[in-house]
């Protein structure tokens, strides 16, 4: 397993729409292992393939707490098939937007259809943190970031800050 470099805002790669995966094979499983390794190293609780520069529809999540046994989840071609009218608010962060957090309101429950790591069709009725995390990561597959769900003023401030930081690194 390899820890991959993370793509950071404002890299335009993050705005790409990821392509569906046609075949679940050992290369893809290896990629999912690398994604988990990268996520654990960061550390984070969710990661989409595009965040390591691979525009394919796959994401990994692990909501286990520190000290608990790991619970890695792999979602291939995940699709939200229904979402609740009731909403919940979580303070979200993103490995591609380090050290920035903001409250985001989303549907409290979602049903997500996907293929697991073995390519088997599955579906999950998620609520709580898993529901929020799935929506955040599926957004990534569509080139959407959590800052797109906050006020325009706040979003512009964050983008400006990260653009400045990226420029100073190049120089
Ligand atoms: Zn993210």
> Tens digit of pLDDT for each residue in 106-131?
999 999 999 999 999 999 999 999 99
- Which residues neighbour 110 within 8 Å (Cβ) at sequence distance 6 or greater? 80, 82, 83, 84, 125, 126, 131, 134, 135
Question: Can you name the residues that pair with 91 across neighbouring β-strands?
Answer: 103
| Residues by chain with Cβ below 5 Å of ion ligand 1 | 94
Q: What is the pLDDT of residue 96?
A: 98
Q: What is the pLDDT of residue 171?
A: 61
- The DSSP result for 4-27, as a single string, is PPPP-TT-GGGGSPPBPP----HH
* Token code pair at residue 36: 């988990």
CATH for 12-170 is: 3.90.45.10
More reliable by pLDDT, 52 or 170: 52
Active site residues: 137
If pLDDT is split at 50, 70 and 90, which confidence band does 151 have? very high
The DSSP output letter for 171 is -
CA of 157 to the centre of ligand 1 (A): 18
What does pLDDT average to over the chain? 97
Share of the chain above pLDDT 90, in %: 95
**Ligand 1: distance of its center to the CA of 50 in Å?**
10
Domain regions of the chain by residue span: 12-170
Cα-to-centroid distance, 10 and ligand 1 (Å):
13
Determine the Cα–Cα distance for residues 48 and 136; give it in Å rounded to an integer. 9
List, in sequence order, every beta strand (DSSP E) within 42-120: 46-48, 58-61, 73-83, 87-94, 97-107, 110-115
- Per 3-state DSSP, what percentage of the chain is helix, strand, and coil (rounded to 5)? 35, 30, 35
Residue 170 predicted with pLDDT over 80: no
Region 166-170 average pLDDT:
81
Alpha carbon of 28 to ligand 1 centroid (Å): 20
Angle at 104 between CA 99 and CA 108, to 5 degrees: 130
pLDDT single digits (tens) 36-67: 999 999 999 999 999 999 999 999 999 999 88
Burial of 75 (C-beta count, 10 Å sphere; 0-12/13-18/19+): buried
What pTM does this model have? 0.96
């Amino acid at each position: 397993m390899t820890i991959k470099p993370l793509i950071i805002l404002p890299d335009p790669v993050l705005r790409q729409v990821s392509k569906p995966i046609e075949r679940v094979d050992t290369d893809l499983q290896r990629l999912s292992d690398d994604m988990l390794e990268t996520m654990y190293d960061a550390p984070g609780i969710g990661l989409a393939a595009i965040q390591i520069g691979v525009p394919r529809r796959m994401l990994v999540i692990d909501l286990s707490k520190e000290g608990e046994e790991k619970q890695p989840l792999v979602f291939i071609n995940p699709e939200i098939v229904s979402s609740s009218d009731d909403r919940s608010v979580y303070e979200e962060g993103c490995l591609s937007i380090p050290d920035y957090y903001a409250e985001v309101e989303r549907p409290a429950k979602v049903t997500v259809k996907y293929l697991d790591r073995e390519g088997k069709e599955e579906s999950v009725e998620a609520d709580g943190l898993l529901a929020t995390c799935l929506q955040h990561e599926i957004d990534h597959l569509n080139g959407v970031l959590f800052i797109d769900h906050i006020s325009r003023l706040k979003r512009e401030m964050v983008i400006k800050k990260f653009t400045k930081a990226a420029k100073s690194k190049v120089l």
